[in-house]
Structure 1
């Protein structure tokens, strides 16, 4: 259950050791809740989830504490068994020498060798290098990294942990293309059972060999990758539609016979027989396609051209010293010279840390240029979508409340119709958003931006 909404109902699915499984379904279908069940954080109202008790499970932590610990050591912390053995060895070596201690120390050294303790640093460095960290960054404290880089460190921890079952929820979020390609190759070589939640079909096609689809509160297993699943489901929908049409014709024929002959004594027995056939006929449920989600951007009120012009701009941050309150300027992107024209579609590329988000924030007006001149067109209306927009939503309020706050003079029905175009229908439109999935909250944040009719749309990792 999610609140009062049942997510899964009387489902059965069997997964085999070594399967690489893609768990898919609409936003809010229950994918992350199913992971919560596997981790033991949630409990089923009925039924059981069963897997071997000796299996070691690894998953990505959702929170990253602001530690002074170096990034490399933090990643290695994912190998809990190794760290425990190291702590035990350090304790015994601090104790007075004795024959018993010597024996235990010898056993611990043997156990550390079995745990590959002597290669752990090189393995950690390989993981972090694949995820885009430089050797210098590996020695920096965890607290010095931004949220996206900390999520990479959490991913590295999960990959460092020896496991029989690995759970990854949207692992490609916050990764650039090089890191995604590296992760795909690493997961192909992973020897255990893997379950991935992802909306990246190319990534799923390259990694998984089984798809488990959550649909209508049921789980259905498909062999093959995501493209194979789409073919199989399309074929099943065609067959289901054909079976439904055939049953509809049969029902119509039986009902016609019954209505014509039930009053005739000579045909009464045949009519009764057909009535029983009709009563026993199990009504086939249609196999529905996923709910369509489409929306249109409202026409902007103004169309200045150019939208903005930047000349010799340096973008970055002003950092105030806590001791003497002096301000230090940290330049991230320098020498920016460009203009934005109405109707342009621009993709902003660069390795992580190159300054993409810094440039976007400068264009959005959240950061003032350190130097240079930025001129904004008269009537410029910016719609800025980034992760912090989702975090600023009020969890105790509804989608209708959020939209009503920025459109207080608009009729409620018009607001409901607009939210309906973003798949916020029925009771959902007036429900608290606290139990919404991450994807549903992101969709609401996007809806609020679209309502405001921007003439410049800035999207910072909109698919995360």
Structure 2
């Protein structure tokens, strides 16, 4: 391990000695078990990321790859063909050659035999065969060069829209100053698949809209069409779509947020230039007048209060004072997404588009965001599958289904009541019309050839033709997720006793952890981001070893692990069936399709490339792959990210039916309430069970937020 040690010192010159020793121990103990660099990253990547201030996740992964090559030179590209022979003593080639010359007759007598001349190769025939082989190779290479290599192109979404002449004229003249947004008669397609047709969306200024619908129907695509300008809206309306994380550079987190206010930034820049000119001895009276105007404008926009406002937003999203003073490049992808959200909240565009904003937040930040958005002054359009968030934030719900969008007043709970009642009335009206049609048709059939009733029959026929054509309500297919059945195991199943874990002497993640779990367990772990929830899960599964304490598991315990980055780690270039084949080869195609079907990925969907699926569909594929190994204990880290409301409901039901154990990390309040039997809070260096369940935890969080705001 000397080489690994030197390499770690060269890459991390300021690493703590205890932490370095910990990394070396993990690498030394697991050297024989590591099969690829991903396993090395799972073991020590998180630790190395913590101690590095200038390295990205990709840099850490490359370092883990180098460590694997140092430990196992034969692995990967360095692997040699055949087995290597290790000499146990030096060899002197000169003496060997001399001995061979002296004993050449003896060697000949033993090894050299007289060959039959008939077995000699005819040189002419050999030349002719080689020429023929070369001719074939040239012909093959020529045929290949003439072939056109078709590179598969990922389909993209397209939109078309009909705009009235009146709106075009108003826009051209610059007279359209309304803040309301109306997008009429538009279509959106993804390749050959039509997502929306002849749809309309109306967004009144100052209202908050929640966009809901099943996975894969086009919610995210609709937001992208609006933000990219493919769906036209008034040019004076400013739009901000929070989709991509902030680029990591040397900018401080607080400054990154303040930069969004371009008006303030430009005024401050002008103020600095004018002040420097005056201090340099300029006597131009215009400079003083301009400087006075700039000061007045800065005062009007309350520029001096901007840092405090930005700090409040960052604090609400989980950034401590120390974190606000760190450069953006030191944050992980999840924290950079929070920065992007903070920038959007600070800049306050006319139309704010949010796509699953709660995915990267812990429960404390979600509650803060719910409270903050209830006073949002402009128009908000948010895609979310968090049921509690949709009950708290939106004033209206836009329901996407059957290639159209319906608008409902009220939050999600009111939407569900209204939609259910509306569908019942529509179904009653359809059934009543069908009965009426049948009754009239019976009269027509009975008296069709009766001359005395001819006029009545004709009037009945005309009446049927004039009746509006009502259609039955299209019922959405219920989402069903099926976890595999498992065999019972005799306890104890899983135990953590007096477990302590730390990365270095100063930073203890948690201590005195005592956790018992069996196949009936439904344990939910909650806590702030960075409190150690994922670290605890890795200790439970044996990926990380505790610093001290005992971890005991049943010998037949088999974990199924769903990580919060599971979806991002799927191979995007293969289809769903091929993904399962690569992980579990040798099974019939029908078995792969049956496994995918048990998680709602059936029909043509199972043959689509992973890249073309929505986030929720990718999650279902990840579940299908996880369960194909028939685990008897599920460890789920943020499994609801990207899932729609119906699939989250189905996940909760399937967890309750599953006859294995479950440990769950989630911020989805509804799922926690559905499945939780034990609630553990991870934070402040400990992991403790809480009486009173989620209600008690929510009270604690709200009290902390109230104390912060004072």
Change (3 A) 1:443 1:103: farther
Cα distance in 2, alignment partners of residues 282 and 405 from structure 1: 54
8 Å CA contact 2:363, 2:527 repeated in 1: no
Paired position in structure 2 for 1:356: 533
Structure 2 SS opposite 1:199: coil
Paired position in structure 2 for 1:20: 208
Paired position in structure 2 for 1:127: 313
CA radius of gyration, larger in: 2
Cα distance in 2, alignment partners of residues 404 and 329 from structure 1: 46
8 Å CA contact 1:60, 1:157 repeated in 2: no
**1:384 counterpart = 2:567:** no
Cα distance in 1, alignment partners of residues 296 and 586 from structure 2: 73
Aligned length: 449
Matches within 5 A, 1:94-105: 97=282, 98-99=284-285, 101-105=287-291
Give a deviation string over 1:392-417, Cα, whole Å, max 9, x none. 11222222222333444443334334
Considering only aligned residues, what root-mean-square deviation do their CA atoms show, in Å? 2.6
Paired position in structure 1 for 2:177: none
- Of the three residues 609, 616, 623, the one matched with 1:446 is 623
More divergent stretch after superposition (170-179 vs 88-97):
88-97
Q: CA deviation at 1:216?
A: 0.7
Q: CA deviation at 1:11?
A: 0.8
**1:395 counterpart = 2:572:** yes
Structure 2 SS opposite 1:175: coil
- Of the three residues 110, 126, 142, the one matched with 2:296 is 110
Paired position in structure 1 for 2:193: 5
Change (3 A) 1:396 1:89: farther
Paired position in structure 2 for 1:144: 330
Change (3 A) 1:409 1:250: farther
Change (3 A) 1:89 1:401: farther
Q: CA deviation at 1:94?
A: 5.7
Structure 1: which 5+ residue stretches go unaligned? 319-327
Paired position in structure 1 for 2:252: 70
Change (3 A) 1:157 1:412: same
- Of the three residues 458, 461, 464, the one matched with 2:638 is 461
8 Å CA contact 2:243, 2:354 repeated in 1: no
Change (3 A) 1:99 1:152: same
Cα distance in 1, alignment partners of residues 489 and 587 from structure 2: 24
Task: Name segments (4+ residues, structure 1) moved above 6 Å.
Answer: none
Q: CA deviation at 1:341?
A: 1.9
Cα distance in 2, alignment partners of residues 422 and 410 from structure 1: 18
Paired position in structure 2 for 1:50: 233
Change (3 A) 1:57 1:99: farther
8 Å CA contact 1:131, 1:182 repeated in 2: yes
Paired position in structure 2 for 1:325: none
**1:295 counterpart = 2:481:** yes
Cα distance in 2, alignment partners of residues 305 and 177 from structure 1: 33
**1:346 counterpart = 2:534:** no
8 Å CA contact 2:601, 2:620 repeated in 1: no
Q: CA deviation at 1:92?
A: 5.3
Change (3 A) 1:100 1:395: farther
Change (3 A) 1:332 1:102: same
Change (3 A) 1:150 1:248: same
Change (3 A) 1:438 1:115: farther
**1:193 counterpart = 2:375:** no
Structure 2 SS opposite 1:347: strand
8 Å CA contact 1:19, 1:209 repeated in 2: yes
Cα distance in 1, alignment partners of residues 442 and 501 from structure 2: 77
More divergent stretch after superposition (19-28 vs 431-440):
431-440
Give a deviation string over 1:250-278, Cα, whole Å, max 9, x none. 23223333433434455455444444444
Change (3 A) 1:108 1:141: same
Paired position in structure 2 for 1:322: none
More divergent stretch after superposition (156-165 vs 265-274):
265-274
8 Å CA contact 1:79, 1:157 repeated in 2: no
Structure 2 SS opposite 1:352: coil
Q: CA deviation at 1:89?
A: 4.2
- Of the three residues 210, 231, 238, the one matched with 2:396 is 210
Cα distance in 2, alignment partners of residues 162 and 353 from structure 1: 28
Change (3 A) 1:415 1:462: same
Structure 1 SS opposite 2:319: coil
Paired position in structure 2 for 1:248: 434
Cα distance in 2, alignment partners of residues 410 and 244 from structure 1: 48
Give a deviation string over 1:203-240, Cα, whole Å, max 9, x none. 22222211111111111111111111111101111101
8 Å CA contact 2:482, 2:599 repeated in 1: no
Cα distance in 2, alignment partners of residues 264 and 463 from structure 1: 67
Cα distance in 2, alignment partners of residues 160 and 131 from structure 1: 12
* Bigger relative CO (Cα 8 Å, ≥ 6 apart): 1
Change (3 A) 1:448 1:122: same
8 Å CA contact 1:383, 1:457 repeated in 2: yes
More divergent stretch after superposition (121-130 vs 258-267):
258-267
Change (3 A) 1:378 1:58: same
8 Å CA contact 2:213, 2:219 repeated in 1: yes
Paired position in structure 2 for 1:30: 218
Structure 2 SS opposite 1:297: coil
Cα distance in 2, alignment partners of residues 151 and 21 from structure 1: 21
- Of the three residues 402, 420, 424, the one matched with 1:234 is 420
Cα distance in 1, alignment partners of residues 259 and 359 from structure 2: 22
Structure 1 SS opposite 2:190: coil
Structure 1 SS opposite 2:406: strand
TM-score (normalizing by structure 2): 0.59
8 Å CA contact 2:575, 2:607 repeated in 1: yes
Change (3 A) 1:252 1:181: same
Cα distance in 2, alignment partners of residues 345 and 369 from structure 1: 23
Structure 2: which 5+ residue stretches go unaligned? 1-188, 642-710
Cα distance in 1, alignment partners of residues 489 and 293 from structure 2: 74
Give a deviation string over 1:169-221, Cα, whole Å, max 9, x none. 22222222222222122111221111121112222222221111111111111
Paired position in structure 2 for 1:337: 514
Cα distance in 2, alignment partners of residues 414 and 239 from structure 1: 43
